[in-house]
């Protein structure tokens, strides 16, 4: 059967198309996608005119699957491996990588031009992955083997929501045992922050959301409160003026506000500088929790298998790839934590 992918061909123009997938070249891996989560960032790409990606765009960036073939020079992976795709691999060559800070790599590698439309036009995979597809080609650094016992529908969440949420806690904010934590926005990333805070030993985890059902749901993932409270670390998983300003207002002295959510273009927030100074507050940005796929995915998968991380309860719905439209439309709806498509 021909390969298929969900293609954004211009502003708001999305369709399931037949695509061509070329064999992997040196250092690349061809993965048959088994499961892909539907994340707000895909919606962001559609709504923000490609969000820096050149049209036509192959959507999807939270995928798990099976290695089908590997290019020359790839020795760490073999056909048949169950893998999770990472959108933030390190190049190993830029100034940050050479300075020993691969989590802040300036030029994450991509496999350019391997996936095309039937007329040969190259597709730009979202965040270098492109997982709303039956198969895709990515650099080996973006492919991490995980135990085959972890179901693909759960494993795919590690690729974005879980890595972003949990690593925002452990890596970006470095939450310490006993810290009081607040999480504003309790979708898949927010619930992953809640779980990360539980793993880090936070003493209080306040789950906040405009939708009253979501904090209640967060209690099942480790949240301790559904009311706002003074916090050492606040995670703004939404990225709007109201949530950012609420986050600042909740900080305890010396506290840290972590901005995770993608804001729409032009969004601004007001900061009361004397109050910020008096509070000795820190504001930091989390790019996907500053995760490094090769280091973080194996331990996240292990925690999932050990029951430390509850991924099963985050998968609200499993649907075929051609249900992409409904999956995007119901993003963020009550009762939907993650829809997972199975190409
Ligand atoms: Zn994502
Ligand atoms: Zn680099």
Q: What is the pLDDT, as a whole number, of residue 332?
A: 82
Cα(275) to centroid(ligand 1), Å: 33
Domain span(s) for CATH 3.40.50.720 in the chain: 174-285
For the chain, how many residues are written?
343
Q: What is the pLDDT, as a whole number, of residue 216?
A: 96
Topology of domain 3-160+290-342, CATH: Quinone Oxidoreductase; Chain A, domain 1 (3.90.180)
Cα(171) to centroid(ligand 1), Å: 18
Based on its alpha-carbon atoms, the radius of gyration of the chain, rounded to whole angstroms, reads 20
Give the angle 323-238-126 at the CA atoms, nearest 5°.
Answer: 45
C-alpha 136/C-alpha 69 separation (Å) is 11
Q: Domain 174-285's class? A: alpha beta
Ligand minimally distant from the alpha carbon of residue 103: 2
Cα(109) to centroid(ligand 2), Å: 8
Ligand minimally distant from the alpha carbon of residue 92: 2
Domain span(s) for CATH 3.90.180.10 in the chain: 3-160+290-342
C-alpha 4/C-alpha 134 separation (Å) is 6
Report CA torsion sign: 46, 52, 54, 60.
negative
Claim: this prediction has a pTM higher than 0.95: yes
Cα(61) to centroid(ligand 2), Å: 20
Cα(104) to centroid(ligand 2), Å: 7
C-alpha 110/C-alpha 201 separation (Å) is 37
Ligand minimally distant from the alpha carbon of residue 37: 1
Beta bridge partners of 188: none
Cα(241) to centroid(ligand 2), Å: 32
- DSSP secondary structure, 64-119, as one string: EEEEEEE-TT--S--TT-EEEE-S----S-SHHHHTT-GGG-SS----TTSEEETT
Residues with Cβ–ion distance below 5 A, ligand 2: 90-91, 94, 97, 105
C-alpha 24/C-alpha 42 separation (Å) is 25
Ligand minimally distant from the alpha carbon of residue 100: 2
Ligand minimally distant from the alpha carbon of residue 108: 2
Q: What is the pLDDT, as a whole number, of residue 12?
A: 87
Cα(40) to centroid(ligand 1), Å: 6
Cα(288) to centroid(ligand 1), Å: 8
Cα(176) to centroid(ligand 1), Å: 26
Ligand minimally distant from the alpha carbon of residue 192: 1
- Per-residue pLDDT 10s for the chain (343 aa) are 799 999 999 998 999 999 999 999 999 999 999 999 999 999 999 999 999 999 999 999 999 999 999 999 999 999 999 999 999 999 999 999 999 999 999 999 999 999 999 999 999 999 999 999 999 999 999 999 999 999 999 999 999 999 999 999 999 999 999 999 999 999 999 999 999 999 999 999 999 999 999 999 999 999 999 999 999 999 999 999 999 999 999 999 999 999 999 999 999 999 999 999 999 999 999 999 999 999 999 999 999 999 999 999 999 999 999 999 999 999 988 889 999 999 9
Cα(295) to centroid(ligand 2), Å: 15
Cα(41) to centroid(ligand 1), Å: 5
Beta bridge partners of 108: none
Q: What is the pLDDT, as a whole number, of residue 335?
A: 86
Cα(293) to centroid(ligand 2), Å: 13
């Amino acid at each position: 059967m021909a390969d298929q992918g969900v293609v954004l061909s211009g502003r708001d123009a999305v369709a399931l198309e037949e695509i061509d997938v070329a064999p992997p070249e040196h250092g690349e891996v061809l993965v048959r996608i088994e499961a892909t989560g539907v994340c707000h960032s895909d919606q962001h790409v559609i709504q923000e005119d490609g969000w820096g990606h050149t049209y036509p765009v192959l959507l999807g960036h939270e995928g798990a699957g099976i290695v089908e073939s590997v290019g020359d020079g790839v020795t760490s992976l073999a056909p048949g491996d169950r893998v999770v795709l990472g959108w933030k691999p390190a190049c190993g060559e830029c100034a940050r990588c050479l300075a020993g800070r691969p989590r802040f790599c300036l030029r994450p590698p991509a496999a350019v031009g391997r996936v095309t439309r039937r007329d040969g036009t190259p597709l730009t995979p979202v965040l270098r992955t492109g997982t709303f597809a039956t198969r895709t080609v990515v650099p080996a650094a973006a492919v991490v083997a995980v135990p085959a016992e972890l179901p693909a529908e759960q494993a795919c969440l590690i690729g974005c929501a879980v890595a972003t949420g949990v690593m925002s806690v452990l890596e970006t904010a470095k939450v310490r045992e006993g810290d009081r934590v607040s999480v504003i926005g309790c979708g898949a990333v927010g619930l992953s922050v809640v779980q990360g805070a539980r793993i880090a030993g936070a003493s209080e985890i306040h789950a906040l959301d405009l939708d009253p059902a979501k904090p209640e749901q967060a209690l099942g993932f480790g949240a301790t409160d559904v009311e706002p409270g003074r916090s050492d670390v606040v995670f703004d998983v939404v990225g709007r003026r109201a949530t950012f300003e609420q986050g600042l207002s909740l900080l305890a002295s010396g506290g840290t506000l972590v901005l995770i959510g993608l804001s729409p273009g032009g969004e601004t927030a007001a900061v009361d500088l004397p109050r910020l100074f008096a509070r000795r507050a820190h504001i930091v940005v989390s790019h996907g929790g500053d995760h490094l796929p090769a280091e973080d995915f194996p331990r996240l998968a292990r925690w999932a298998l050990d029951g430390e991380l509850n991924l099963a309860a985050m998968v609200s719905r499993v649907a075929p790839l051609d249900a992409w439209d409904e999956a995007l439309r119901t993003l963020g709806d009550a009762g939907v934590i993650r829809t997972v498509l199975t190409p």
